[in-house]
């Protein structure tokens, strides 16, 4: 058995932080506990430690940050940071994971997870280094957006840090507040965006977590076997068209064109399926714009050390100065096509403001889309969207309406067509054009979430109903597995048909040989526990539904309609552990 390579600690630990008493305790992990990571660790911990009926923003809820099983700097895609809690948006369990450097930074200190408990007064900073783990006064940072906050923290603590933070939205307790994580350049552009986890962090009074990265030691095993396994793994990534070509060139927006052809892009509050001016904002347009502008622009960029896929980007203005990094498909879909906005420059500006506020761009775009359809604003009105974001920043009543997200804002407006499931706004997929993702959005315990089981890569007619339940089910189990290993979604394609590519790496470090079946059972168990949490929290099988209008309105240009039955949706995730 190859032994763990970090030499200053014997084993991983959990940091248990009480936001009220400011006490920080460490708990050792050993043996089989070391194999529970990421989303799986979160599901276990929440189910064991949190009262399912608790107020998500109250002291009983716990906010958990968990690295993957192997957040090593040299394994591409292994360093996602999972964040979880009972969600103030869905009132069910929530895990959202982020790129950036946080998982790596924690791993270098031997920390597998942070469990944050209690509720504290606003304006505290959790500082984590080898010398100290403690809560410090950060009231001077209250009210700051993520960008200025991070600058201020680098000034106070030095720049060799990774920072996890919330903007004003998290301080306000808005259920669309996300948690920002800095990338390799110290830019807070990576997000555990969904489900209001930023509000939970705000309720704990923690404005930021500052993790020391000055130590360069601490990478996983370095045996010849490990190096050989890593080589096979990287070769598979390079040889897979998605990860070797499409993502490095176009980023996540590579998917815009294919989805548009299927009629699966959300346009004007999910009323069309492809946007008449879509070629101005698709993957090709994004790549061309960044490439032609030069300056600090990068059409391919890695959000964390070691990533060879490099699906991130740095978007620049005409002078080549940075506007935002990254700009991704979901934001282009929800703040662009869905709102009738056809300018990447405008979308990038809105994206920057959203990141600074610390809000989920999907929820913002979803809510404003409903308001536009209801006649309160006009589709394509960039100034109106900017003004709404200004209201969110001010904390005005109007701002708080859109701060409720797609579902909340839609309900306030009395709208009939609200694209949300389990109160979570739908991401950039019209389920009439890609029905498998529709099944995932309906049945996932996370609410409408494309990352919970993406079916685009499946070899199937996406507009037909046959087989979609099975495809979504296996995608969800698979995804729960990768999330429970801390593995990036874009490393799924090169490895799914040969899970040995990952289990060989795990074996080198933990000495445990996991069969593909054993690996998939990690996913099934995680999903099953999440559903158990939700049932106890009052979310029923009858909540596994898409909004009615998708099965009542045919998409004009495509003739498609959502025709999976309630029963099909309800049986997607039954008997997971049998």
Q: Is 377 helix (H, G, I), strand (E, B) or coil?
A: coil
User: Under the criterion CB under 8 A, does residue 91 sit at the interface with its own copies?
Assistant: no
Q: How far is the CB of 207 from its own copies (least distance, A)?
A: 17
Per DSSP, 140 falls in state G
Among 260, 404, 406, 468, binds its own copies (CB under 8 A): 404
CB atoms near residue 110 (< 10 Å): 19
Window contacting its own copies (CB under 8 A); options: 150-158, 400-408, 508-516, 522-530: 400-408
**Residues between 279 and 338 that touch its own copies (CB under 8 A):** none
408 binds its own copies (CB under 8 A): yes
Does residue 265 touch its own copies according to CB under 8 A? no
Q: How far apart are CA 39 and CA 43, in angstroms?
A: 6
Residue 383 within binding range of its own copies, rule CB under 8 A: no
Class of residue 521 by CB neighbours under 10 A (exposed 0-12, middle 13-18, buried 19+): middle
Task: State which of residues 7, 397, 517, 575 lies at the interface with its own copies (CB under 8 A).
Answer: 397
- CA distance linking residue 90 with residue 425, whole number of Å: 10
Rounded to whole angstroms, how far apart are CA atoms 494 and 311? 15
Taking CB under 8 A as the binding criterion, the range among 226-234, 341-349, 401-409, 519-527 that sits at the site for its own copies is 401-409
**If we measure between CA atoms, which residue out of 179, 226, 213, 183 comes closest to residue 199?**
179
When asked if residue 401 is in the footprint of its own copies (CB under 8 A), the reply is yes
Residue 473 CB, nearest distance to its own copies (Å)? 25
Binders of its own copies in range 45-74 (CB under 8 A): 53
The first and second tokens of residue 22, run together, are 């400011």
Beta-carbon contacts of 475 under 8 Å, excluding residues fewer than 6 positions away, are 436, 440, 453, 454, 455, 458
How far apart CA 138 and CA 37 sit, in angstroms, is 30
Interactions with its own copies, residue window 532-561 (CB under 8 A): 538, 540, 542
Query: Of residues 376, 466, 497, 515, which one binds its own copies by CB under 8 A?
Result: 376
Q: Among 54, 142, 412, 520, indicate the residue that binds its own copies (CB under 8 A).
A: 412
CB of 333 to its own copies, least distance (A): 24
How near is the Cβ of 408 to its own copies at its closest, in Å?
A: 7
In angstroms, the CA 449 to CA 427 distance is 7
CB of 542 to its own copies, least distance (A): 6
Q: Does 173 bind its own copies (CB under 8 A)?
A: yes
Integer Cα distance of 317 and 525 in angstroms: 46
What is the greatest pairwise CA distance in the chain?
A: 65
Q: Are 492 and 242 in contact (CB under 8 A)?
A: no
Residue closer to its own copies by CB (options 142, 412) is 412
The residue within the footprint of its own copies, chosen from 413, 460, 536, 561 (CB under 8 A), is 413
Buried b (16+ CB within 10 A) or exposed e, 177-206: bbbbbbbbebbbbbbbbbbbbbbbbbbbbb
Looking at 358-366, 404-412, 493-501, 561-569, which segment touches its own copies (CB under 8 A)? 404-412
**If binding means CB under 8 A, how many residues of this protein chain bind its own copies?**
18
**Binding residues for its own copies, per CB under 8 A?**
53, 172-174, 371, 376, 397-398, 400-401, 404, 408, 412-414, 538, 540, 542
């Amino acid at each position: 058995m190859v032994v763990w390579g970090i030499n200053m600690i014997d084993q991983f630990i959990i940091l248990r932080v009480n936001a009220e008493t400011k006490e920080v305790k460490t708990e050792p992990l050993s043996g089989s506990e070391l194999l529970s990571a990421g989303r799986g660790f979160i599901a276990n911990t929440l189910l064991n430690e949190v009262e399912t009926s608790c107020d998500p923003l109250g002291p009983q809820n716990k906010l958990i940050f968990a690295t993957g099983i192997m957040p090593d700097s040299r394994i591409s895609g292994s360093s996602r940071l999972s964040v979880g809690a009972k969600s103030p948006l869905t009132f069910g369990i929530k895990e959202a994971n982020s790129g950036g450097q946080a998982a790596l930074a924690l791993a270098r200190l031997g920390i597998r997870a942070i469990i944050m408990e209690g509720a504290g007064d606003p304006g505290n900073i959790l500082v984590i280094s080898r010398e100290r783990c403690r809560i410090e006064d950060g009231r001077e940072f209250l009210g700051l957006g993520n960008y200025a906050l991070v600058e201020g923290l680098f000034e106070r603590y030095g720049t060799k840090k990774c920072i996890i933070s919330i903007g004003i939205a998290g301080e306000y307790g808005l259920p669309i507040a996300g948690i920002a994580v800095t990338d390799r350049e110290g830019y807070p552009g990576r997000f555990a965006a969904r489900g209001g986890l930023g509000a939970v962090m705000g309720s704990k009074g923690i404005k930021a977590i500052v993790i020391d990265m000055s130590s360069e030691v601490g990478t996983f095993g370095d045996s010849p076997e490990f190096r050989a396994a890593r080589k096979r793994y990287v070769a598979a990534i390079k040889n897979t068209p998605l990860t070797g070509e499409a993502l490095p060139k176009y980023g996540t927006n590579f998917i815009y064109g294919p989805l548009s052809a299927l009629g699966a892009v959300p346009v004007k509050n999910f009323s069309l399926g492809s946007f008449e001016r879509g070629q101005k904002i698709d993957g090709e347009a994004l790549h061309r714009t960044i490439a032609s502008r030069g300056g600090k622009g990068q059409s391919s960029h890695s959000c964390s050390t070691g990533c060879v896929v490099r699906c991130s980007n740095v978007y620049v203005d005409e002078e080549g100065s940075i506007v935002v990094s990254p700009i991704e498909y979901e934001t282009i879909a929800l703040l662009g096509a869905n709102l009738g906005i056809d300018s990447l420059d405008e979308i990038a500006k809105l994206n920057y403001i959203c990141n600074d506020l610390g809000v989920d761009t999907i929820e913002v775009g979803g809510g404003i889309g409903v308001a536009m359809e209801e006649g309160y604003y006009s589709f394509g009105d960039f100034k109106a969207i900017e003004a709404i974001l200004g209201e969110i920043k001010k904390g005005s009543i109007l701002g708080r309406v859109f701060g409720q997200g797609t579902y909340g804002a839609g309900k306030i407006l009395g709208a009939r067509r609200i694209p949300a499931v389990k109160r979570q706004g739908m991401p950039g997929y019209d389920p009439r054009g890609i029905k498998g993702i529709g099944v995932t959005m309906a049945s996932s315990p996370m609410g409408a979430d494309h990352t919970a089981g993406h079916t685009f890569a499946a070899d199937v007619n996406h507009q037909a109903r046959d087989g979609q339940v099975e495809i979504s089910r296996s995608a969800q189990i698979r995804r729960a597995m990768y999330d429970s290993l801390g593995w990036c979604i874009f490393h799924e394609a090169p490895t799914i048909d040969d899970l040995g590519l990952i289990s060989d790496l795990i074996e080198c470090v933990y000495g445990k040989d996991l069969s593909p079946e054993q690996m998939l059972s990690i996913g099934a168990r995680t999903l099953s526990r999440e559903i158990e949490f939700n049932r106890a929290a009052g979310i029923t099988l009858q909540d596994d539904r898409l909004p009615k209008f998708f099965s009542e309105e045919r998409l004009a240009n495509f003739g498609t309609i959502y025709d999976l039955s309630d029963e099909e949706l309800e049986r997607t995730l039954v008997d997971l552990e049998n």
